[in-house]
Amino acid sequence: MSNSLLVTRIGSLVTNDPDIGVGPLGIITDAALVIENETVAWIGPTGQSPAADNVIDAAGAAVLPGFVDSHAHLVFAGERGDEFAARMQGQAYEAGGIRRTVNATRAATDDDLRQILNHLAAELLHSGCTTFETKSGYGLTVTDESRALQLATEATPETTYLGAHVVPAEFANDPGGYVDLVTGEMLSACAPHSKWIDVFCDRGAFDADQARAILTAGIAAGLQPRIHANQLQHGQGVQLAVELDCASADHCTHLDAADIAALADSNTVATLLPGAEFSTRATYPNARTLIDAGATVALATDCNPGSSFTTSMSFCIAVAVRDMFMSPDEAVWSATQGGAHALRRDDVGHLSVGARGDLLVLDAPSHVHLSYRPGVDLIRQVIVGGSAVRAPQSIERPPL
């Protein structure tokens, strides 16, 4: 095979394909896998491994699909560590803090923003996110939103126009005028650089009628909808997500029984963001209720300077297991296949033949260790399209 990579002696391979392995994670033990031309070309027992140009000996370690982070805000300048410190001493989180990052982002040069974006994208990749989404939303002018999205396209195809993050200070007395801008000139400037349209439908941001107008305009311009919903209080955001067939309703912190039933009966993924509840000291949503009702749940980092400044999906998995009542298996599925569903991608999030060759070799015998060993960097190797982007660490280890 040309340009091929064989990963062999995999102790436990998570494929997320129940047709080829055990359980919902489609686990195969003592497995091997070949990636050719950036896609998975063969999966089978180690003993039947074909020859390949390059070989990785997993030596009994677990292998899983690369994480799919379906929610991040990476185009911004400045940081807000002082707000985090104040919150940990009792101050409440409110949407208004976004405007502070807007001021810093508008003042930054393209190169400043590119450098921050690239740094955070590299952090994501290093911690195992082989696919990630990123949003605008800290520019809030036609020029600043469209430059954010142009920069974002340099880093990922999953770009989201979030002109409707908050109403900027200069429109404080004319929120309707800002919605007109977001659905008019700003949309025209941003749509060519965006796959998605998003709106923050919550207290201090946009109400359900404004959100409906914004998402509907985006859909008419060829964008696909997703939404920030029910983070700070209960509202109509989740119902709107289902009404408009949004790929995902993100946060879902405050849900009632009707929201859960609506999500379960829809194609809309409930994307949970453990970093946001952690960093705002909010009550975690209960993933168990969503999963038991039949909803599809994804986990994402929500990396942003205000409410969740983490690029670690492993951290999100551990918190989701501990505080959102997901099983370790469910959390790994939600961080991989769940994220792929939230981005409506069928080429990532699983390791069936024909999927992209994006995978992680863990420094552990099982994916369960991602939550069992919280705070420990267990990502030994990151493979994207069959190429190693994170080399093995050189420290000596006992046998797994």
Binding positions for Fe ion, rule: CB under 5 A? 302
Q: What are phi and psi for residue 318, nearest 5 degrees?
A: -65, -45
> Nearest to residue 145, comparing CAs of 218, 84, 207?
218
396: buried, middle or exposed (CB in 10 Å: 19+, 13-18, 0-12)? exposed
Whichever of 144 and 302 has its CB closer to Fe ion, that residue is 302
- Binding-site member from 307, 311, 312, 334 for ligand NIG (CB under 6 A): 307
- Does position 164 interact with ligand NIG (CB under 6 A)? The reply is no
- In the complex, the smallest distance separating the C-beta of residue 307 from ligand NIG, rounded to whole angstroms, is 4
How do strand 269-272 and strand 248-251 relate by DSSP bridges?
parallel
- Binding-site member from 304, 334, 337, 371 for ligand NIG (CB under 6 A): 304
Partner whose footprint covers residue 276, from ligand NIG, Fe ion, none (CB < 5 to 8 Å by kind): ligand NIG
Partner whose footprint covers residue 159, from ligand NIG, Fe ion, none (CB < 5 to 8 Å by kind): none
- The site string for ligand NIG over 86-105 (x = CB under 6 A, - otherwise) reads -----------xx--x----
- In the complex, the smallest distance separating the C-beta of residue 302 from ligand NIG, rounded to whole angstroms, is 5
- Binding-site member from 36, 133, 198, 302 for ligand NIG (CB under 6 A): 302
Q: Which two tokens stand for residue 75?
A: 């185009």
- In the complex, the smallest distance separating the C-beta of residue 240 from Fe ion, rounded to whole angstroms, is 16
- Binding-site member from 306, 338, 339, 357 for ligand NIG (CB under 6 A): 306
Range list of β-strands (E), 206-321? 224-225, 227-229, 248-251, 269-272, 297-299
Residue nearest to ligand NIG (CB): 306
Q: What are phi and psi for residue 238, nearest 5 degrees?
A: -65, -40
Evaluate whether 63 touches 367 at the Cβ level (below 8 Å): no
Whichever of 235 and 306 has its CB closer to ligand NIG, that residue is 306
Whichever of 228 and 367 has its CB closer to ligand NIG, that residue is 228
Sign of the torsion formed by the C-alpha atoms of 217, 223, 224 and 226: negative
Rounded CA-CA distance 35/52 in Å is 9
H or E, element range at 183:
helix 175-183
Whichever of 195 and 369 has its CB closer to Fe ion, that residue is 195
How do strand 62-65 and strand 54-57 relate by DSSP bridges?
unpaired
Q: CA of 38: how far to CAs of 70, 147, 356, 382, 384, in Å?
A: 21, 31, 6, 14, 8
Whichever of 15 and 304 has its CB closer to ligand NIG, that residue is 304
- In the complex, the smallest distance separating the C-beta of residue 200 from ligand NIG, rounded to whole angstroms, is 5
Q: What are phi and psi for residue 55, nearest 5 degrees?
A: -130, 135
The stretch near ligand NIG (CB under 6 A) out of 51-59, 60-68, 115-123, 301-309 is 301-309
Whichever of 8 and 268 has its CB closer to ligand NIG, that residue is 268
**Residues belonging to the chain:** 400
Q: Which two tokens stand for residue 95?
A: 């949407």
How do strand 297-299 and strand 269-272 relate by DSSP bridges?
parallel
- In the complex, the smallest distance separating the C-beta of residue 73 from Fe ion, rounded to whole angstroms, is 6
- In the complex, the smallest distance separating the C-beta of residue 4 from Fe ion, rounded to whole angstroms, is 39
Whichever of 46 and 105 has its CB closer to ligand NIG, that residue is 105
What number of CA atoms fall less than 13 Å from residue 221's CA on the CB side?
Answer: 25
Residue nearest to Fe ion (CB): 302
> Nearest to residue 379, comparing CAs of 42, 100, 389?
389
Footprint (CB under 6 A) of ligand NIG, residues 217-256: 228, 231
- The site string for ligand NIG over 254-293 (x = CB under 6 A, - otherwise) reads ----------------------x-----------------
Radius of gyration of the chain measured on its C-alpha atoms: 21
Whichever of 22 and 107 has its CB closer to ligand NIG, that residue is 107
Partner whose footprint covers residue 101, from Fe ion, ligand NIG, none (CB < 5 to 8 Å by kind): ligand NIG
CB neighbours of 239 closer than 8 A, spacing ≥ 6? 208, 258, 259, 262
Residues engaged in binding ligand NIG (CB under 6 A):
97-98, 101, 200, 228, 231, 276, 302, 304-308
